[in-house]
Amino acid sequence: MTLDRDEFEKFKKALGGKVYDTEPFIIVVSYGNDDMPTVTDTLPDVLISKTDTSAKQDSENVSEMKLDFTILSPIKWGDKKAQ
């Protein structure tokens, strides 16, 4: 997952001020095309496994944060309808 620095700081705050050594959390992802209904999948138990702050010199957003995560439980495909 890639976040701007300010989004990352909000995310970190929501996790209790740290990204590692936290309780597993939920990620909900919604996607779709114009010609089909929106699909929402749920990743029920996720932990951050790696962060990368190295931005390329030619990057428009040098404050970009890249996060790798580990999914601990099976993904619930099409679990919910988008709000």
Total domains in the chain come to 1
Distance CA 44, CA 51 (A): 20
> For 62-66, what is the mean pLDDT?
81
Residue 62 in this model has a pLDDT that exceeds 80: no
The answer to whether 40 and 63 have CB atoms below 8 angstroms apart is no
pLDDT at 52: 85
Domain of residue 72: give its range: 2-80
pLDDT for 15-51, tens place per residue? 998 889 889 999 999 988 888 888 899 999 999 999 8
